[in-house]
Structure 1
Amino acid sequence: MDTRIRKPRSRTCELCGRQEVWSDEKGTWKIVTEDGERQVGDPHCLHEWDITGAFTPIETTDA
């Protein structure tokens, strides 16, 4: 049995709609661009990300 820790790859603010994806290249979150428009949401929002208890960071597989 093989176990690995997963990280979220994308997130959306539940309050203002800001969308971000993880950039392995930069090692940080990057704002999503859709149809040429950055999905920044409200810059003054205290973001509440959609990463909840439903996200399971521990993944096991049969090796």
Structure 2
Amino acid sequence: MAEVVPPSKRACERCGRMDVWDESQGKWVVAEADGREQTGTPHCLHEWDINGSYNPLRDDA
């Protein structure tokens, strides 16, 4: 049976904002790199890099 596996990180293709999934909070949070939050542009309509090339199914056959 196939299992749906959601993404654990995402990045905006327009402004560079990077988010990671926080399982304990149950939501996306801004990622940190080199001690700085990767917030991108506050007013950007984010275009996340999760597209048709991402395969959400894991086949444990």
TM-score bracket, normalised by the shorter chain, equals over 0.9
Give the secondary-structure state (helix, strand or coil) at the position aligned to 1:7: coil
**C-alpha root-mean-square deviation of aligned residues, in Å?**
0.8
User: Is 1:48 the counterpart of 2:42 in the alignment?
Assistant: no
1:30-61 per-residue CA deviation (whole Å, 9 max, x = no partner) reads 10111111100000000000000011112212
1:3-52 per-residue CA deviation (whole Å, 9 max, x = no partner) reads 10010100000000000000000000010111111100000000000000
Which whole-Å CA distance do the structure 2 matches of 1:61 and 1:36 have between them? 37
Specify every segment of 5 or more residues in structure 1 that has no aligned partner in the other structure, as ranges.
none
How many residues are matched? 61
Greater Rg over alpha carbons, structure: 1
AA at the equivalent of 1:50: D
Specify every segment of 5 or more residues in structure 2 that has no aligned partner in the other structure, as ranges.
none
TM-score, normalising length from structure 2? 0.94
User: Is 1:31 the counterpart of 2:30 in the alignment?
Assistant: yes
